[in-house]
DNA sequence: TATTAATTGCGACCGGTGTTCGCAGTTTAG
DNA sequence: CTAAACTGCGAACACCGGTCGCAATTAATA
């Protein structure tokens, strides 16, 4: 009995027979995003949305199969805020970094984004557009499709990570946060964790705080540069030997060789979240 | 008015006066982890834990200030499952990659880990041990402490990402998942997203599936190599091989400083064996 | 030893959540 | 004009996390 579609994206917004709806999915979405922006994701409850919309909560289920659908809609809506009309420069890394920067801006505007339960594959129309753009940026890269997908996923994960750090840095510290930090420093001062103690002591009182934007772009560029290089050209040798344990800086880049076996397992991506 | 500590870690497990407790935090934690392993994080409710423990749900609040505490305990317990007795090899990148691999194993064993609400700084005793180990691995790296912390955080994020992808690949696809994939392929076939279509078409039916472990380690090594190289040396000795299309412009900067964001290094378990 | 204070176990409850059901009212198709 | 399809929604269900107050128990104190 041809059960109806599972995702919002394939389910028709409304039937053609009955009385015309008083609202639309876009309305729900707008209200939900607004609520989330104001009071966090937990403020987005069916009752609240209904109240804000001036309707009964049961009515919402005429537009949406459940709260999950609402989250899908919200996610895709904010994904649509990323400007995809920026022309590509031609350098995959640079283009992706720029894209990531714009994505991060959206994260900063909607801090609840990382709080959305990480369903595998939450991809609406705008999300697909985003994915298309990212893949287009990598058009010149010689990598199997799934590998590119995975790069996009990793990129998104990093964007979320950076956004979180930035938000946390700007927002006032909560009690819990302070308590956690206190516990950490106390533990460090116990003597059993010299490296942690050193790393924390190294932090001068006032934070010189390099421009977050620069830091972000630099890190992003490095990571992406490491990922985007295709395997054929990056052929090298496995590192075998062991350098001295405390050489000045023991980090040498040892590009590892690996058969350029294309295709990889399933790709868990969630480009925009 | 000296209100009692905010985190579980500084709050005493029990008073010294009253009747002796029937259970312990370790009991709660074990039960909670078990429940989560079996039915996901949503299965960990106060009532369920209480029932599983054969006690009233209100009793739990004698051991724990709320559900958040329970999540803290679970996270740290699982972090304690990672083996930190593995001797360091001396090469920061290699050591971190190995650590990440062990962390990923724990993620695979406890798929609910990424579902835990991303509080800033969820770090218990075992988490601190983990952090210490990671910093020790980077002892020879000349980077400011906060930068190293950030590297650890990024590493954890990537581990989570990879673990998620791997889990999704192995686990049976849910209805929602299938529907999502169907929507994606349908959208791609519409013609408006040629790159998405190409990337998907490239994926042959049966997946040769490169060994996930190798893929993980390779990617991890690349990313970490890009991050761990300190700026001083990186300015002079650019990447030996920068083949693909991208200007290998050296990102040189002054010593950087930035607020740290050590996120949870949630990982690792080895119950038996 | 007797007293007192601290602590535990927990039934009952509160306000909140997502979701379902059934029905009255409305619109369109045939 | 009838009938089918659809919308709005009050009421209810089954959960959830968390609090309160009290009896029972234990340990420190006098």
Of B117, B146, B177, the CB nearest to A120: B177
State which of B79, B111, B141 marks the end of a domain.
Answer: B79
| Cβ under 8 Å to A: B residues 201-220 | 201-204, 207-210, 212, 214-215, 218-219
Which pLDDT tens digit goes with each residue over B51-85? 999 999 999 999 999 999 999 999 999 999 999 99
Residue A235 has what pLDDT? 41
* A131 CA from D19 C1′ (Å): 48
- Find chain A residues with C-beta within 8 A of B237's C-beta: none
* B8 CA from D17 C1′ (Å): 18
Residue A210: inside a domain, yes or no? yes
Q: Three-state DSSP class for B266?
A: coil
CATH (domain of B167)? 1.10.357.10
How much is the pTM?
0.83
Q: Give how far Cα A94 sits from Cα of A98, A228, B51, B80, B245, Å.
A: 6, 11, 55, 40, 11
- Find chain A residues with C-beta within 8 A of B168's C-beta: 120, 266, 268
Q: What is the DSSP string of B125-155?
A: HHHHHHHHHHHHHTTT----HHHHHHHHHHH
The residue to which tokens 């190995």 are assigned: B98
Domain count, chain A: 2
Which pLDDT tens digit goes with each residue over A250-269? 333 333 334 333 333 334 34
A264 Cα to chain B: minimum distance (Å) = 4
Cβ distance A261 to B94 less than 8 Å, yes or no, reads no
Q: Give how far Cα B15 sits from Cα of B48, B55, B70, B244, B250, Å.
A: 25, 20, 19, 64, 59
Residue B255: inside a domain, yes or no? yes
Residue A176: inside a domain, yes or no? yes
| Cβ under 8 Å to A: B residues 75-94 | 88-94
Which pLDDT tens digit goes with each residue over A47-62? 999 999 999 999 999 9
Residue A70 sits in the same domain as residue A99 = no
Residue B62: inside a domain, yes or no? yes
Residue A226 has what pLDDT? 85
CATH (domain of B36)? 1.10.10.60
| Cβ under 8 Å to A: B residues 173-202 | 175-184, 186-188, 192-196, 198-202
State which of B34, B57, B79 marks the end of a domain.
Answer: B79
Residue A152 sits in the same domain as residue A50 = no
Residue A169 has what pLDDT? 82
The count of other CB atoms within 10 Å of the CB of residue B259 is: 16
Mean pLDDT of chain A: 83
To 10 degrees, what angle do helices A92-109 and A145-170 make?
40
Residue A59 domain boundaries: 25-79
Residue A15 has what pLDDT? 81
In this structure, of A236-245, B131-140, B146-155, the range with the lowest mean pLDDT score is A236-245
Residue B117 sits in the same domain as residue B245 = yes
Residue A47 has what pLDDT? 97
- Find chain A residues with C-beta within 8 A of B130's C-beta: none
Residue B32 sits in the same domain as residue B128 = no
Which pLDDT tens digit goes with each residue over B220-244? 998 998 888 754 444 433 443 433 4
Which pLDDT tens digit goes with each residue over B98-116? 999 999 999 999 999 999 9
- Find chain A residues with C-beta within 8 A of B188's C-beta: 128
Q: Which of A131, A195, A234 to mutate to test the interface with B (most CBs of B within 10 A)?
A: A195
Residue A115: inside a domain, yes or no? yes
Residue A116 has what pLDDT? 95
- Nearest-angstrom CA–CA distance, B156 and B114: 10
């Amino acid at each position: 009995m041809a059960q109806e579609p599972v995702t919002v994206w394939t389910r028709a917004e409304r039937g053609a027979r009955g009385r015309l709806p008083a609202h639309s999915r876009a309305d729900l979405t707008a209200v939900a995003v607004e609520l989330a922006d104001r009071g966090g994701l937990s403020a987005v409850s069916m009752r609240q949305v209904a109240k804000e919309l001036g309707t009964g909560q049961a009515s919402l289920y005429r537009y949406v199969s459940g709260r999950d659908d609402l989250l899908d809609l919200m996610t895709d809506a904010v994904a649509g805020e990323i400007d995809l009309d920026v022309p590509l420069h031609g350098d995959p890394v640079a283009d992706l970094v720029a894209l990531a920067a714009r994505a991060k801006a959206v994260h900063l505007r909607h801090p609840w984004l990382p709080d959305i339960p990480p369903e595998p594959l939450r991809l609406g129309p705008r999300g697909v557009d985003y994915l298309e753009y990212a893949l287009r940026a990598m058009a010149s890269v010689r990598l199997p499709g799934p590998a590119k997908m995975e790069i996009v996923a990793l990129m998104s994960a990093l964007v979320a990570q950076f956004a979180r750090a930035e938000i946390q840095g700007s927002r006032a510290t909560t009690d819990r946060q302070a308590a956690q930090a206190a516990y950490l420093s106390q533990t460090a001062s116990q003597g059993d964790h010299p490296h942690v103690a050193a790393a924390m002591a190294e932090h001068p009182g006032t934070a010189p705080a390099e421009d977050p934007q620069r830091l972000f772009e630099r890190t992003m560029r490095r990571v992406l540069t490491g990922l985007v290089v295709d395997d054929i050209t990056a052929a090298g040798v496995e590192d075998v030997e062991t350098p001295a344990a405390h050489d000045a800086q023991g980090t040498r880049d040892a590009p590892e060789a690996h058969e350029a076996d294309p295709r990889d397992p399933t790709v868990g991506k969630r480009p925009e979240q």
